[in-house]
Amino acid sequence: MLDSKTIATVKSTIPAVAALGPRLTSHFYHRMFSHNPELKDIFNMSNQSTGNQPEALFNAVCAYASNLDNLAALGPAVEKIAQKHTSFAIRPDQYPIVGKHLLASIDEMLQPGEEVMQAWSKAYDVLAGIFIQREEQIYEEVEEKTGGWRGGNREFVISEVVPQSSVIKSFILTPVDGKPVVDYKAGQYLAIWVKDPSFKNQEIRQYSLTRTPNGRDYRIAVRHEEGGVMSSWLHQQHAGKHIHLAPPAGDFFLDVTPQTPVTLISGGVGLTPVLAMLGQLAKDKHPAVVQWLHATENGATHAFAAEVAALGAKLPNFWQHVWYNHPHPQDEGKYDQRGLMNLLPLESRVSDPAMQFYICGPVAFMAEEEKRLIELGVAKERIHYEVFGPHKAL
C-alpha cells in the first residue's frame, strides 16, 4: 500500500499531467519503441498511428493517479486491461521496461523534481504488482482447464473460411495438435498471433468468438477494414493456413439468470460478440424475453441474418428489429426500418427494470444508443458494452 505522502505527491501533479494530454503517452510510446523495438511485436502499431492507444493509456494513467487512495474503484478497469494483457502474453519482466519509459517521459516533459518522481515510481510499482498478480491468476485459471494453454504459442489451422457479407468473413480455427480447446464465456474474444514476411512486425489482434463453445475449434468473424493490416491479410487466406492463438479472454460476457430479460444491440461487425450471446441463450432455451436489435448499411453488409433467425426460433420469447441505413431495392423485406438505429420509439420494449443490455459496435454508435437508453430510464449499470481496440468510455 502507498503512504499518504506518496498519494498526496502524485495527486498534486495530476493537473500538470492532465495539461499534457495524450502528448505524454505519445512521447512514452516513441521513447519505449526507440529503446525497446522488440515490443513492437506485442503492441498494435496501427493503434499507435491513429492515436487510439496513447489516448487510452493517458486516460488510464489519469484515472489511476486520481484513485490512489481508492484502488478498489479501479477494479473494473484493471480487469479489462488484465484480460487484454493475457491475450498479448504480457510477462512480469516487461513491467519494469514500461515503468522505466513512462517515468522517464513524465520526468522529461514535466521535470517535477526527485521527490515527485520517487512518488510516481512507488505508485507505478504498486499498480504493476496488481496487474502481475491478476494476470498470473488468469493464466493459471485457463491453463488448468481442459484444453487450456498459456500465451500465443498454440498452433491452429484455418479449417474453413465462409463469406458472411460483402465485408465480413468467418473463420473456423482448429488446433493442429488435435487436442481439445478451452471453453469460454459468450462475448469473449480470441487473440490471433501472426508473423508474415509482409508484416514489419508480428501482429496480434483480438476477434470476438461468434458461437457457443464446442471443445473442438473456434469461430471468429472479421470485417475487412480498408488499410487494416491483419483484416486484409486474413481476408486473403484460405483453408489450410497455420496461425497461432492465445486462449480466449475478455471481461464482456453474458451474465444473466433464466429470469433476466436481455436485449442485444449491435451495429455492423459489432454483432460478433452478441451473436455468441444469442447462441448461448438459444442453447439454454432462455425463458425470458430476448431482443435482437441490429443496424447495418444494407442487405449486402448484413451478416449472419439466417443464423440469427434460426437461433431466435429456438427461444420462446424472441423479437428482432433491424435497421438498414441505405437499403438497396432488392433489400425489401429484409429489414424493419430505414435509416439509423433509433431506440426511442421502442420505449415499451426496453422499459422492464430487470432487463440487461449488451451493446457492441462503433464507439459513436454505442455512445448514442447508451444515451438513448438512459433517456428512456435505463440505469447505466444495466448497460454493458465492448470497444474493439483500446478501451474508451462512452
Could you list the active site residues? 95, 135
- Give the residue from 273, 311, 272 showing the smallest Cα distance to 291: 311
Residue located via cell numbers 498470473:
136
- Compute the distance between CA of residue 346 and CA of residue 352 in angstroms, rounded to an integer: 12
What does the alpha-carbon distance between residue 362 and residue 170 come to, in Å, rounded to a whole number?
19
Distance CA 378, CA 263 (A): 12
- Phi and psi angles of residue 34, each rounded to the nearest 5 degrees, phi first: -70, -40
Q: Which residues contact 355 (CB under 8 A, 6 or more apart)?
A: 260, 261, 262, 263, 289, 378, 382
Describe the crossing of helices 52-66 and 23-35 by its angle, rounded to 10 degrees: 110
What the block records as the C-alpha cell of 112 is: 517535477
Sheet holding 242-249, edge to edge: 203-208, 189-194, 242-249, 154-163, 168-175, 218-223
